[in-house]
Amino acid sequence: MDMGMPYGQRMVGFENGKDDETTEPTELMNKPWRPLTRKLKIPAAIISPYRLLIVIRMAVLALFLMWRINHPNNDAIWLWGMSVVCEIWFAFSWLLDQLPKLCPINRATDLNVLKDKFETPSPSNPTGKSDLPGIDIFVSTADPEKEPPLVTANTILSILAADYPVEKLACYVSDDGGALLTFEAMAEAASFANIWVPFCRKHDIEPRNPESYFSLKRDPYKNKVKSDFVKDRRRVKREYDEFKVRINGLPDSIRRRSDAYHAREEIKAMKVQRQNRSDEPVEGVKIPKATWMADGTHWPGTWLQSSSEHSKGDHAGIIQVMLKPPSEEPLLGIADDTKLIDVTDIDIRLPLLVYVSREKRPGYDHNKKAGAMNALVRASAIMSNGPFILNLDCDHYIYNSQAMREGMCFMMDRGGDRLCYVQFPQRFEGIDPSDRYANHNTVFFDINMRALDGIMGPVYVGTGCLFRRIALYGFDPPRSKEHHPGCCSCCFGRSKKHSSVANTPEENRSLRMGDSDDEEMNLSLLPKRFGNSTFLIDSIPVAEFQGRPLADHPAVKNGRPPGALTIPRELLDASTVAEAISVISCWYEDKTEWGQRVGWIYGSVTEDVVTGYRMHNRGWKSVYCVTKRDAFRGTAPINLTDRLHQVLRWATGSVEIFFSRNNALLASPRMKLLQRIAYLNVGIYPFTSIFLIVYCFLPALSLFSGQFIVQTLNVTFLVYLLVITLTLCMLAILEIKWSGIELEEWWRNEQFWLIGGTSAHLAAVLQGLLKILAGIEISFTLTSKSGGDDVDDDYADLYVVKWTSLMIPPITIMMVNLIAIAVGFSRTIYSTIPQWSKLIGGVFFSFWVLAHLYPFAKGLMGRRGRTPTIVFVWSGLIAITISLLWVAISPPSSTDQIGGSFQFP
């Protein structure tokens, strides 16, 4: 290879357009195949009844809807019509949600086989040096005020201490706010890592996030065998406490430093003025108040006091290597009494750590998080070019130090070259024990995602995802066509290893990428897709080659020779960093395919779902990796308002997806039917809110009018209702059985489905329609705020009540139903011929609505009922208005139409 190739891009057997087939030992090829992963099928005693129940419920729903349509309520045709329309939609929505769950599976990995294959001495790797591919880890943050630097620093420390070959790891921190506070916090974290990482390796610490580790409730000394553990832990804990003080004191220290430098500059300017005007009075000198770095230079990013070219959305691109690339060989510590802890015979190397803040200028659409991630993709391709990318949020840390090895088992297994990503479940800390607002999302992560794993794979959910870099680049998967294996090395015309490829005409081996089956391109057209960086273009085939599974068995197609990744990588020099800075400039993406077909996809609030959809649409597969010990853990909002705004953002993105070219109805034939249904449900589910909110008012309307959705509560209706309810309950029990979640978690999910459906989902639909039809952007913001006063309560934020317009519909539903129950009882009790069956029907469904809204009501009460008066004023006015409107439309008569007089005492 060219010696000028960037760091981490050298490879074996990939020169002169050919693979070196001599590097594949026949001894390995003759060994029996040992899989790295295995599927754990759900027991037939569970899955067979589960599928049968789905079929039965589908049939019963069809019969029920036919019966409802054929038996209208002529006394209240409007009530019957609304209910039938809603029920048809609910059945359709249930089908979209249930059909992708027909094939749930579990998976397991074998880390021992991974170690034997990639890190054990063999004829092709006599030294036993790791032959695992590199991983670039992306951590994104944007605002140090909303995302505390201490949290981000802990995430970085958990990454640097991960159990993966040090020389194969590279961590990139994206600071989209360009804040000096984040920069210096990362510098502090890099310094503390010299103590923390060796400590974790020496004593096998879990988890390797210092804040979480030192906050563990369990005994920290359990299973620790080294005699100096207590002393080491005490010393490291003291150092971490000092580290936290330094991090928390950074805002004040940066401000004081900047003020001191500012005063110094003003004094210098005044001296110059005196020298130039010795006979004239000295006037005050106006100098822009800059933000200064510790070395006495201006911070090139965002200043504390915004200035031209130093404000949010207007600052230079910054790349700073915080920790240089480690040596290829282990660097063992030596006995030294001056060290904080004894690290003798412990590898003290640290992975590459890079701070990145992309350039931002007015007039450019920077595309929020998706644009920041694409900037990291380009910069990392030039600096380390790991064939795999793990992306994490700044508050989502590595809880299981071997998580990346678990993900690599899937990527390096037979057929793993067709995987675009490995998605890990999201697990959260700091949530109240009752999980009032279903923040854990266990139904989604443990039921829906496991079920999707049985088809083409789970959707991408934004964090905790291990990507194949070449899939992010927009290429088709290997062997996507019979006449075109599709592996990128073949497309680049570099490999002639497979006879099927070698015998393929040259014109059929051009690079294939994009959504069209007939779309082909060659190397000369790559700059139009990826930009004009030759470093970036040269890195693409290298990343593809290094990401292949080992060719250690004849059944492995598109493999790489064992031992190919054990040689030293190129050094990281100044020219490479300069090139990386150029590709994060704000103009680099102009007239390229970044954000359109390459990298994270633009145009949606939920860019994660769209990015995963594009990969599945090209024929790539994904897998779901549930580890025994949680792979990653993060934080989630626990108070009602923040939770509703989180759901609003997700639902708004889904509406945008539905009205875009990413609608699953437009998917390519490469996407399987059930996968297409799953993605269709992603775009449609917010629209259920329209029918849900109508259905929640139907019980109240029934009680107000004295009518019901059916003419009479006959046996047929009740039997259908009973069977539908029982089948739903039995399906839930079986889902709980094969997923392992608790019944309470399932019920919390059902409750918040109605809470979110009547508030955030409805607002998302309205917002999406206004944006699509009128181009109007609407954002729902907090209008009043009250804070918790109990700092000793870990869940104090749960009781904080923040007023938001999203609360109006659920409150109105509750108040209208409560008023309707009172009216219904009065109407029935004081009627000459009470219609108890219709009252019971209406009251039953009203209680069904109120039971689902119970967590919402508790959230409004706060800790001691400190709900803003405006909440009740608005909701009361709306409820009274609806009640009076009904009285005006259908005033009570002296003789009740359904039986007797209707008079209040």
Say if residue 742 is exposed, middle or buried (CB neighbours under 10 Å; 0-12, 13-18, 19+): exposed
Give the span between the Cα atoms of 857 and 855, in whole angstroms. Answer: 5
Q: What are phi and psi of 495, to 5 degrees?
A: -115, 135
Q: 147 a known binding residue?
A: yes
Residue from 136, 176, 552, 630 carrying the catalytic annotation: 176
Instruction: Identify the CA nearest to 171 among candidates 310, 443, 449, 376.
Output: 376
Give the span between the Cα atoms of 296 and 299, in whole angstroms. Answer: 9
Structure-block tokens of residue 473: 């680049």
Whether the Cβ atoms of residue 551 and residue 559 lie closer than 8 Å to each other: yes
Q: How far is CA 675 from CA 452, 606, 620, in A?
A: 7, 18, 12
Q: Hey, what's the torsion of the CAs at 606, 612, 615, 621, to 10 degrees? A: -170
Residue from 435, 538, 608, 630 carrying the catalytic annotation: 608
Say if residue 34 is exposed, middle or buried (CB neighbours under 10 Å; 0-12, 13-18, 19+): middle
Count of beta carbons in the 10 Å neighbourhood of residue 405: 23
Instruction: Give 511's DSSP letter.
Output: B
Whether the Cβ atoms of residue 609 and residue 403 lie closer than 8 Å to each other: no
The order of strands in the sheet holding 135-141 is 318-323, 352-357, 169-175, 135-141, 388-393, 465-468, 419-423, 621-624
Amino acid at position 400, single letter: N
Which residues, including other chains, have CB under 8 Å from residue 136's CB and lie 6 or more apart? 170, 171, 172, 376, 380, 384, 385, 386, 388, 389, 390, 469
Q: 393 a known binding residue?
A: yes
Q: Hey, what's the torsion of the CAs at 265, 270, 271, 272, to 10 degrees? A: 90
Structure-block tokens of residue 813: 């539903």
Reply yes or no on whether 608 is catalytic: yes
Count of beta carbons in the 10 Å neighbourhood of residue 714: 11
Say if residue 311 is exposed, middle or buried (CB neighbours under 10 Å; 0-12, 13-18, 19+): middle
Half-sphere exposure of 309 (CA within 13 A, CB side): 6
Structure-block tokens of residue 377: 């993709």
Structure-block tokens of residue 226: 């080294």
Q: 395 a known binding residue?
A: no
**CA 323-324-328 angle, 5° bins:** 125
Q: What are phi and psi of 624, to 5 degrees?
A: -110, 125
Q: 360 a known binding residue?
A: no
Instruction: Give 312's DSSP letter.
Output: T
Amino acid at position 587, single letter: W
Give the span between the Cα atoms of 548 and 411, in whole angstroms. Answer: 8
Reply yes or no on whether 793 is catalytic: no
Q: 342 a known binding residue?
A: no
Binding site for Mn(2+), by residue number, is 369, 393
Binding site, by residue number, is 140, 146-147, 176, 368-369, 393
Q: Which residues are catalytic?
A: 176, 608
Binding site for UDP-alpha-D-glucose, by residue number, is 140, 146-147, 176, 368
